[in-house]
């Protein structure tokens, strides 16, 4: 199974933070470490999550997925989960041929072992901590500041073989 993160991987979370709060969020840094106020403001706001732009590479990344996958994302709040579900619908991710579901799960629950990756379970995520944690059992691809789609294609070819 493949697990794909939303914020920073499919959705341009940092761009939205810049637009809403004029905050330059460093890549891979959690928002609450930079501004707790902004974190509180977005966490219960359906619109924020619903209107996130796709990352530049979102479509290209999803096009390379040719096996069953689930979206894995932090829940934040009831309203955020609604916004995220709307985002997946509005951006037609829910129509992807291989999507099997959405998992709302924060880092703590992963660490707590609610998801125990098997050897060939693949995580695609922009968060280094998540990636390192996942790699203890499974496989992982880290989306850097920009996704190098050629490198990703190559990675997926190796993953399949
Ligand atoms: Mg992320």
Q: Answer for the pair 121, 138: CB distance below 8 angstroms, yes or no.
A: yes
**CA 119 to centroid of ligand 1, rounded, Å:** 22
Q: What's the Rg (C-alpha) of the chain? A: 15
**CA 89 to centroid of ligand 1, rounded, Å:** 19
**Whole-number Å distance between alpha carbons of 5 and 147:** 14
**CA 12 to centroid of ligand 1, rounded, Å:** 9
| DSSP three-state, residue 35 | coil
pLDDT of residue 112: 65
Nearest by Cα to 13 from 141, 125, 160, 142 = 125
**CA 151 to centroid of ligand 1, rounded, Å:** 19
pLDDT of residue 48: 97
The structural domains of the chain, with segments of one domain joined by +, span: 2-13+51-160
pLDDT of residue 153: 96
For 18-60, what is each residue's pLDDT tens digit?
Answer: 999 999 998 878 898 999 999 999 999 999 999 999 999 999 9
Structure tokens at 16: 């939205």
Alpha carbons within 13 A on the beta-carbon side of 146: 3
**Whole-number Å distance between alpha carbons of 39 and 31:** 6
**CA 7 to centroid of ligand 1, rounded, Å:** 4
**Running DSSP on this structure, what letter comes out for residue 44?**
T
Q: Answer for the pair 72, 5: CB distance below 8 angstroms, yes or no.
A: yes
For 90-110, what is each residue's pLDDT tens digit?
Answer: 999 999 999 999 999 876 666
CATH class of 2-13+51-160: alpha beta
Nearest by Cα to 139 from 157, 156, 119 = 119
**Whole-number Å distance between alpha carbons of 107 and 99:** 22
């Amino acid at each position: 199974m493949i697990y794909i993160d939303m914020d920073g991987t499919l959705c341009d979370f940092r761009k939205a933070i810049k637009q809403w709060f004029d905050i330059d969020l460093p890549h891979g840094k959690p928002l609450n470490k930079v501004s707790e106020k902004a974190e509180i403001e977005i966490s219960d706001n359906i619109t924020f999550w619903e209107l996130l732009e796709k990352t530049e590479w979102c479509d290209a990344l999803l096009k390379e997925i040719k096996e069953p996958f689930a979206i894995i994302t932090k829940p934040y709040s009831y309203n955020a989960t609604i916004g995220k579900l709307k985002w997946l619908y509005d951006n037609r991710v829910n129509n992807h041929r291989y999507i099997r579901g959405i998992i709302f799960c924060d880092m703590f629950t992963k660490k707590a072992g609610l998801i125990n990756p098997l050897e060939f379970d693949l995580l695609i995520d922009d968060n280094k901590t998540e990636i390192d944690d996942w790699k203890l059992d499974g496989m992982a691809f880290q989306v850097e500041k920009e996704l190098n789609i050629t490198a990703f294609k190559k990675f997926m070819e190796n993953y399949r073989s």
